[in-house]
Amino acid sequence: MKLSTLRLKSIANIFLISSVPLVSWSSLEPNNFKPNVKTFFFLCLGLFIFGLGESVLVVSEYGVTPWTVLAEGVAKKIDIGIGLSTFIISCIVLIFWLPLKLKPGFGTLMNILIIAMTMGGTIPFLYFLNDFFNGLFLSFLGTMLVGFGSGIYLIANLGPGTRDGLMTGISKKYNKPISLIRFTIEFCVVFFGWVLGGTLGIGTIIFAIFIGPFVSLSLKIVFFLNRKTKLLI
């Protein structure tokens, strides 16, 4: 009985991480614009996996992440690719950093470029997945990839993504809970994206429920691998 309780507590602790751990290849300074090769590699790897997960969610046709609902809606409205739409929206969000006196990091800029390029470059080639897997499975797979990619790029510690920075910046400026700010912004983003024609579905709900646990699990796994092996050292 005690052993089972300990196991449950150990599993629960994985999903209760309150801070991003630093590992051997993490940057010690978020505003570092000259990261070493290892930090740069893992930053790019994390952002690529993140973008790939976004692409899998798009091709699942079961619903996408809140910000991709908006990107998809804008893309349909002005007849451009989702990758380019994502890039444009990220740049616009970055402008809103100015009144909040936020400074983008190297990772912030790479976030804009790599995720947009990955989505634009992979979505056309991933629709074959629908021949082998149903949309529900792809929704979970896409969410898992976004979560694991997030964990890797967060550990790189080179600055937040544009959207995360906006949420934390507003929360700090107006002294409001970040959960409230995130809900408010993403509700508005989803609503306007849906009005423009973005795909809102069960995949969006799956993402909202499971993205937190997948990010936490990713942080734990990367930290464990860095401690126990030389794979990430």
User: What are the extents of the domains in the chain?
Assistant: 41-228
pLDDT of 233: 42
pTM of the shown model: 0.85
Distance (Å, rounded) from C-alpha 129 to C-alpha 45?
22
Q: Which of 89, 48, 47 is nearest to 68 (CA)?
A: 89
pLDDT of 58: 92
pLDDT tens, per residue, the chain with 233 residues:
455 555 555 555 555 555 677 788 888 887 788 889 999 999 999 999 999 999 999 999 898 888 999 999 999 999 999 989 999 999 999 999 988 888 888 999 999 999 999 999 999 999 999 888 888 999 999 999 999 998 898 889 898 888 888 887 888 888 877 678 888 888 899 999 999 998 888 998 888 888 878 888 888 888 877 765 444 44
pLDDT of 140: 94
**DSSP string across 63-123:** ---HHHHHHHHHHHHHT--HHHHHHHHHHHHHHTTGGGT----HHHHHHHHHHHHHHHHHG
Q: List Cβ neighbours of 116 (8 Å cut-off, separation of 6 or more).
A: 51, 83, 84, 86, 87, 90
- H helices of the chain, in order, are 2-14, 37-60, 66-78, 82-95, 106-122, 135-156, 162-174, 178-196, 202-228
pLDDT of 228: 52
